[in-house]
Amino acid sequence: MDDHISRRKVVIIGGGFAGLFAVRALHRAPVDVTLIDLNTHHLFQPLLYQCAAGILSSGQIAQPLRVVLRRHENVRCLLAAATDVDAAGRVVLAEAADGSTQAIPYDHLIVAAGMRQSYFGHDEFAEHAPGIKTLDDAMVVRRKIYRAFEAAEASTDPAERARWLTFALVGAGPTGVELAGQIREIATRTLEREYSGVDPSQARVLLFNRSEAVLGSFGPVLSRNAARALDGIGVEVHLGTAVTQVDGGGLTVRRQDGGTERYDAKTVLWTAGVEAPEFATALARSTGAEQDRAGRIKVAPDLTIPGHPEIRVVGDLMSLDKLPGMAEVAMQTGAYAGRHIRYEIEGRTGEPRPFRYRDLGSAAYISRGRAVVKVGRLHASGLLGGLIWLFIHIAFLTGFRSRVGAMMTWAVLLISGSRRERVFSAGS
Please pick, among 73, 124, 150, 178, the residue that the annotation labels catalytic.
178
Residue type at position 127: E
Residues 283, 90: contact at Cβ < 8 Å? Answer: no
Phi, psi of 258 (to 5 degrees): 95, -15
- The 378-381 sheet, strands edge to edge: 362-367, 370-375, 378-381
Sign of CA dihedral 157, 188, 145, 238: negative
Closest CA to 64 of 314, 398, 393: 398
CA 381, CA 360: separation in Å to the nearest integer? 16
194 assigned to active site: no
3 state SS for the chain: CHHHHCCEEEEEECCCHHHHHHHHHCCCCCEEEEEEECCCEEECHHHHHHHHCCCCCHHHHEEEHHHHCCCCCCEEEEEEEEEEEECCCCEEEEEECCCCEEEEECCEEEECCCCEECCCCCHHHHHCCCCCCCHHHHHHHHHHHHHHHHHHHHCCCHHHHHHHCEEEEECCCHHHHHHHHHHHHHHHHHCCCCCCCCCHHHCEEEEEECCCCCCHHHCHHHHHHHHHHHHHCCEEEEECEEEEEEECCEEEEEECCCCEEEEECCEEEECCCEECCHHHHHHHHHHCCCECCCCCEECCCCCEECCEEEEEECHHHEECCCCCCCHHHHHHHHHHHHHHHHHHHCCCCCCCCCCCCCCCCEEEEEECCEEEEEECCEEEEHHHHHHHHHHHHHHHCCCHHHHHHHHHHHHHHHHHCCCCCCCCCCCC
- What are the residue numbers of the active site? 178
